């Protein structure tokens, strides 16, 4: 039976390209014949609507024990890509979930049957822009985290907090959790700023940054209003090519990756001390 890898797209900063990446990266993995389940963990439900799926019972109902996760899975217009949609109720979930003693592990327990079934190659979480309970649940369930950051000033702002939390969660009981890569998004070919930011991030984080850069591409911002991922909306635009390249690079890294010894080669330990303070 295949092992399902759970990947969280996370950054507490808003508008950095988490959802755009979740939708298009998932679609590109499915195009490469991987079986993918996208879980929309954001009450904004942008990933749900971006795939043209009706909002519906969310993973929240499974976290509350009201339904099984399997029943929540819906098909999308892309072969091989399924989704557990979001609903606005997810917004109230943090309060409701907080009543349980195991409030940080409700998602992991709810998802376990789906993960254990081995039906999916990858489960992708689109996280909300916060460090709240849903986010913590996502990290307690995930094997890997991809952190999208925008090629703008202050790109690294808040990254230290993210890295800290990932390390804390890993040490507190999710030992396989690691940052699989930082993804530079909204790269603007025509500005020096984008190039400078990429250079700075690469200097600090080296091989932990994906080689693939996601360019700023208006087609990527239009596609969600048609409820389509970019490979359906405009299959040959630069945005589609970039996300295909990312999927390819990610799969290649999966083959090469040797599990980290906790604390040895994690991203945290690659942050130079002076930068760690700055972050």
CB of 46 to Mg ion, least distance (A): 5
d(CA 9, CA 62): 21
Question: Any contact of residue 15 with ligand ATP (CB under 6 A)?
Answer: yes
Instruction: Name the one residue in this structure whose structure tokens are 């999966």.
Output: 254
Cβ distance to ligand ATP smaller for residue 139 or 186: 186
Which of ligand ATP, Mg ion, none does residue 15 bind to, with CB < 5 to 8 Å depending on kind? ligand ATP
The span of 8-16, 72-80, 195-203, 249-257 binding ligand ATP (CB under 6 A) equals 8-16
Adjacency order of strands within the sheet including 122-126: 74-75, 81-84, 36-40, 122-126, 5-9, 144-150, 178-187, 209-215
Task: Give the start-end residues of each E strand in 175-232.
Answer: 178-187, 209-215
Comparing CB distances to Mg ion, the nearer of 127 and 240 is 127
The residue written with tokens 């939390």 in the block is 165
- Residues β-bridged to residue 5: 122
Residues 6+ apart with CB under 8 A from 277: none
Output the smallest distance, CB 50 to ligand ATP, in A. 8
* Region 3-22 residues binding Mg ion, contact defined as CB under 5 A: 18-19
Residue 189 makes contact with ligand ATP by CB under 6 A: no
CA dihedral (148, 73, 132, 27) in degrees, to 10, reads 0
CA atoms of 10 and 14, how far apart (whole Å)? 10
Token duo for residue 35: 């079986």
Q: Which does 80 bind (CB under 5 to 8 A by kind): Mg ion, ligand ATP, none?
A: none
Q: Is 228 in the site for ligand ATP (CB under 6 A)?
A: no
Choose, by CB under 6 A, the member of 217, 228, 232, 266 that binds ligand ATP.
Answer: 217
Interaction pattern, residues 42-81, with ligand ATP; x per rule: CB under 6 A: x-x-x-----------------------------------
Q: Which residues bind ligand ATP (CB under 6 A)?
A: 14-20, 42, 44, 46, 129, 185-186, 214, 216-217, 220-221, 239
């Amino acid at each position: 039976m295949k092992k399902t890898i759970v990947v969280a797209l996370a950054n507490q900063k808003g508008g950095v390209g988490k959802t755009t990446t979740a939708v298009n990266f998932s679609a590109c993995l499915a195009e490469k014949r991987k079986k993918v389940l996208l879980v929309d963990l954001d009450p904004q439900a942008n990933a749900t609507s971006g795939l043209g799926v009706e909002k519906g019972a969310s993973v929240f109902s499974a976290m509350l024990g009201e339904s099984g996760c399997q029943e929540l899975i819906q098909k999308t217009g892309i072969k091989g890509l399924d989704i557990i949609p979001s609903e606005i109720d997810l917004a109230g979930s943090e309060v409701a979930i907080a009543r349980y003693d195991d409030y940080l592990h409700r998602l992991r327990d709810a998802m376990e049957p789906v993960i254990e079934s081995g039906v999916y190659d990858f489960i992708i979480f689109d996280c909300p822009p916060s460090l709240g309970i849903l986010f913590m649940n996502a990290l307690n369930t995930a094997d890997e985290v991809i952190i999208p950051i925008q090629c703008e000033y202050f790109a690294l702002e808040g990254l230290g907090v993210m890295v800290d939390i990932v390390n804390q969660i890993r040490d507190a009981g999710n030992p396989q959790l690691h940052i699989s890569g930082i993804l530079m998004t909204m790269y603007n070919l025509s500005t020096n700023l984008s190039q400078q930011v990429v250079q700075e991030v690469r200097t600090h984080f080296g091989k932990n940054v994906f080689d693939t850069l996601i360019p700023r591409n208006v087609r990527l911002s239009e596609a969600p209003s048609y409820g389509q991922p970019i490979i359906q909306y405009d299959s040959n635009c630069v945005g589609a090519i970039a996300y295909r390249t990312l999927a390819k690079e990610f799969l290649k890294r999966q083959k090469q990756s040797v599990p980290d010894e906790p604390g040895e080669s994690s991203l945290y330990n690659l942050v130079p001390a002076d930068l760690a303070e700055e972050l």
